Amino acid sequence: MAPMRVTALAGGVGAAKFLRGLVRATEPENVTIIGNTGDDAVFHNLHVSPDLDIVTYTLAGLVDDTLGWGIKQDTTHALDQMAGLGLETWFTLKDRDIGTHMARTTWLADGVPLSEVTDRIRRGLDVAARIIPMTDDPVRTRIVTSEGLTREFQEYFVRYRHSEEVAEVHFEGAETATPAPGVIDAISAAQRIIICPSNPVISIGPILAVPGIREALRERRDAVFAISPIVQGAALKGPAEKLLPVVGAEASASAVAGLYQDFCGTFIVDYRDAPEAGKIEDLGMRVMVLETVMETPGISRQLAKEILAAP
Amino acid sequence: MAPMRVTALAGGVGAAKFLRGLVRATEPENVTIIGNTGDDAVFHNLHVSPDLDIVTYTLAGLVDDTLGWGIKQDTTHALDQMAGLGLETWFTLKDRDIGTHMARTTWLADGVPLSEVTDRIRRGLDVAARIIPMTDDPVRTRIVTSEGLTREFQEYFVRYRHSEEVAEVHFEGAETATPAPGVIDAISAAQRIIICPSNPVISIGPILAVPGIREALRERRDAVFAISPIVQGAALKGPAEKLLPVVGAEASASAVAGLYQDFCGTFIVDYRDAPEAGKIEDLGMRVMVLETVMETPGISRQLAKEILAAP
């Protein structure tokens, strides 16, 4: 039996943990990852794609496991120099990582689309799985706080450590964006489409906001499997429970299922949330109850295997 | 007696060696350095000012003494990452140094003029002497080879290691450039103006090509002292002897004096070139014969002292 073609929608750290298991549970060449670029930003004239890099570095075996992002054993010489010169350095850019951003920025300035840039980087780092940004167009997640301030995503997320109360989330540029080359094909041609356990509002939300992607998923609803990013009412990492109410959902696995109901046929909840299964089935979705807290690479791989083996 | 105000015109490594002595021979607060920006370039979207940085790093005590440029004990993590991703990395950018370029690029993008950026950098690195770029406008040195190829300066100098035969040197943008704020004042107000032992064609040449600077020097001819960059018919470093014929001069101290004749009252030759003194006097210039080969910091300081003490 030929290994199945798998496509995954991914945010950052939570997604990367799962994807590390996925590429060990099947042939990585048959895996396509559609990544979030809503949190892209320009720092000191360098184009940074945090979610794409987390996924790429993780699959390359380079990621700093303690942080979940960046490259292990990286140094901060450039940043120290900048700080010494009086620049704001609240966004951590380490030296090897800066090399990636310099390459990306150079290619983008030469007119190479982000999808091709992302492909060059993953090939350069010997990653066998394909990684495609959701779009080559600029889409920027903006956070409006309850005090009425509009924050760029990284300001909200890193500078203010997602401590501000959020009133609204916008995806600037999404209305006129088009899916990057290969995105719609990857959804149409996959035997299994997996929504990684990423923040539904700020990681999966921007991907779904690109016109055409949600519609393509709806047409493949039976093939779409989503892993709940919420376990026992809380996110394992990040501000999901504070952001879900902004889109009218409570912080529960079943509420996330509700957000995905129109395009997702199977919803995976952690065994700790088994009691939620009934509510999700009432939404017209199939439920799988599995261990989803990926404390070891073995758990990630097992989770991926079970999803790939599901009838 | 108040220490005299001194202004120096400077290129890169040769100038920096002399300036290190100059700031120890007088109060560094009274020294103003006008730097060459004709070799500025943009690499991987970062604005690099090699000559300004060599001078600043040297006076900050940070320079890599073996190379003569860059910061000592710097690392190449970003560059290694870029090379791994397949980018051309013939221009060496080390990590701490990249921090300087990121700061410069960020400020320039914010609309801060290069003169203010340069001032922030030298203050940030605790350099007491003022360092001013010759102009805030873009002036770019271009080399036309005898094969008719036009090279950006760093291509000629670093990539092809100044091995190509040169037919012409141009300073693109010079005609419409204006001296940076403080440049003309520094020339008018100084008791002593020193032309550092830098390449007359590609280091001092671009400074003199900015309209108004050469004229201001002419008015101060009696206060202008130039140190020959040529000793016994050769430059200590760099391609001066290959470039002098391009501007119609031979590679000798007296030929360099001829290029400076209109604005320079006193020319300093190395004692090894004492026999050239007569020819230079015939040009209507005063001659000082001194040790100019700065093999130790003590020699630089002594050279500076003798120039400052000259009647």
Whichever domain contains B101, its CATH number is 3.40.50.10680
State whether A125 and B98 contact (CB < 8 Å): no
B87 to chain A, any CB pair closer than 8 A? The answer is yes
Segment B22-43 mean pLDDT: 97
Q: Does the residue A110 lie in any domain?
A: yes
Note the pLDDT of residue A241.
Answer: 87
State whether A85 and B100 contact (CB < 8 Å): yes
Single-letter amino acid code for the residue at A174: A
**Residues of chain B neighbouring A95 (CB-CB closer than 8 A):** 75, 77-78, 81, 95, 98
**Residues of chain B neighbouring A75 (CB-CB closer than 8 A):** 75, 77, 95
Number of domains composing chain B? 1
Note the pLDDT of residue B241.
Answer: 87
Phi/psi for B168 (5° steps) reads -145, 155
Tell me how close the Cα of A48 comes to any Cα of chain B, in angstroms: 13
ipTM: 0.89
Q: Does the residue A1 lie in any domain?
A: no
Asked if residue A50 and residue A152 are part of one domain, the reply reads no
B39 to chain A, any CB pair closer than 8 A? The answer is no
State whether B96 and A87 contact (CB < 8 Å): no
Asked if residue A162 and residue A145 are part of one domain, the reply reads yes
Per-residue pLDDT of A11-50, as tens digits, reads 999 999 999 999 999 999 999 999 999 999 999 999 999 9
Q: Does the residue B164 lie in any domain?
A: no
Question: Which one of A172, A188, A218 terminates a domain?
Answer: A172
B60 to chain A, any CB pair closer than 8 A? The answer is no
DSSP A26-41: S-GGGEEEEE--TT-E
Asked if residue A228 and residue A106 are part of one domain, the reply reads yes
Q: Does the residue B166 lie in any domain?
A: no
Asked if residue A164 and residue A113 are part of one domain, the reply reads no
Asked if residue A253 and residue A186 are part of one domain, the reply reads yes
Asked if residue A19 and residue A82 are part of one domain, the reply reads yes
Q: Does the residue B162 lie in any domain?
A: no
Provide the 10 A C-beta neighbour count for residue A27.
14
Segment A58-72 mean pLDDT: 95
Tell me how close the Cα of A96 comes to any Cα of chain B, in angstroms: 4
A80 to chain B, any CB pair closer than 8 A? The answer is yes
**Separation of alpha carbons B257 and B265, rounded Å:** 10
State whether B75 and A77 contact (CB < 8 Å): yes
Segment B30-38 mean pLDDT: 98
Asked if residue A157 and residue A220 are part of one domain, the reply reads no
Phi/psi for A207 (5° steps) reads -65, -45
pLDDT band at A218 (very low <50, low <70, confident <90, very high): very high
**Residues of chain B neighbouring A96 (CB-CB closer than 8 A):** 77-78, 80-81
State whether A120 and B85 contact (CB < 8 Å): yes
What are the distances in angstroms from CA B87 to CA A57, A77, A119, B94? 18, 21, 14, 15
Q: Does the residue A276 lie in any domain?
A: yes
Question: What's A267's DSSP letter?
Answer: E
Asked if residue A29 and residue A58 are part of one domain, the reply reads yes
Tell me how close the Cα of B106 comes to any Cα of chain A, in angstroms: 5
**Greater pLDDT, A15 or A237:** A15
Per-residue pLDDT of B258-311, as tens digits, reads 999 999 999 999 999 999 999 999 999 999 999 999 999 999 999 999 999 998
Q: Does the residue A104 lie in any domain?
A: yes
Tell me how close the Cα of A116 comes to any Cα of chain B, in angstroms: 13
Per-residue pLDDT of A125-168, as tens digits, reads 999 999 999 999 999 999 999 999 999 989 998 888 888 999 99
A259 three-state secondary structure: helix
Phi/psi for B84 (5° steps) reads -60, -30
Q: Does the residue B127 lie in any domain?
A: yes
A95 to chain B, any CB pair closer than 8 A? The answer is yes
Q: Are B289 and B277 in contact (CB under 8 A)?
A: yes
Percent of chain B at pLDDT exceeding 90: 91
Residue B107's domain comprises 6-138+174-309
State whether A78 and B96 contact (CB < 8 Å): yes
Asked if residue A159 and residue A96 are part of one domain, the reply reads no
Asked if residue A166 and residue A144 are part of one domain, the reply reads yes
> Which 3-state string (H, E, C) describes chain B?
CCCCCEEEEECCHHHHHHHHHHHHHCCHHHEEEEECCCCCEEECCEEECHHHHHHHHHHCCCECCCCCCCECCCCCHHHHHHHHCCCCCCCCCCHHHHHHHHHHHHHHHCCCCHHHHHHHHHHHCCCCCEEEECECCCCEEEEEECCCCEEEHHHHHHHCCCCCCEEEEEEECCCCCCECCCHHHHHHHCCEEEECCCCCCCCHHHHHCCCCHHHHHHHCHHHEEEECCEECCEECCCCHHHHHHHHCCCCCHHHHHHHHCCCCCEEEEEHHHHHHHHHHHHCCCEEEEECCCCCCHHHHHHHHHHHHHCC
Our CA angle for B136, B98, A123, nearest 5°, is 125
State whether A87 and B103 contact (CB < 8 Å): yes
Asked if residue A296 and residue A187 are part of one domain, the reply reads yes
Asked if residue A17 and residue A161 are part of one domain, the reply reads no
Tell me how close the Cα of B101 comes to any Cα of chain A, in angstroms: 9
**Separation of alpha carbons A155 and A143, rounded Å:** 9
